[in-house]
Amino acid sequence: MPIADPMETSCGFVLVNYDSILLLQYPQGDEDHHTTARRELLEETGINDIVIDSGWRQRTEYSFYHKGRQIDKEVYWYIATTNQLNVTISHEHTNYLWLNFDEAETQLTFDQEKTLLRDARTYLAASGATV
């Protein structure tokens, strides 16, 4: 019986700036998700001034095929806030958008991502944030 490949792990932020958000996902490279997400956020956007909300965490799973092989992936999501609006994107990206929650949801493809975003919005609204 073949041994299953281990599940890949990533982490990401729902990054909130007042009533705008960026959704960012990174491959897990450090011992803890916050360290990976902070490092990747700085490298890919230039944003370094964030506060991670320790009261919210979500996990999503999905599968995709790479070179004919199924890859199972899990992503741990966190909410972080920033006052930095200026983004300096890395060479890996061509563009970025700060969107409100409704606009961001229309950009998402998968129901699981839309549910995640709605969940973050509900959590932030309950904590008194402007969403």
pLDDT in tens, 37-84: 999 899 999 999 999 999 999 999 999 998 999 999 999 999 999 999
CA 131 to each of CA 33, 77, 101: distance values in angstroms, whole numbers, following the listed order: 25, 18, 7
More confident residue, 85 or 3: 85
Residue type, 14: V
Which element (helix H / strand E) includes 105?
Answer: helix 101-107
Burial label for 40, CB within 10 Å (0-12, 13-18, 19+), is: buried
Distance CA 61, CA 58 (A): 10
Q: List CB contacts of 56: < 8 A, sequence separation 6 or more.
A: 78, 79, 120, 123
Homologous superfamily assigned to 8-126: Nucleoside Triphosphate Pyrophosphohydrolase (3.90.79.10)
Q: What is the pTM of this model?
A: 0.84
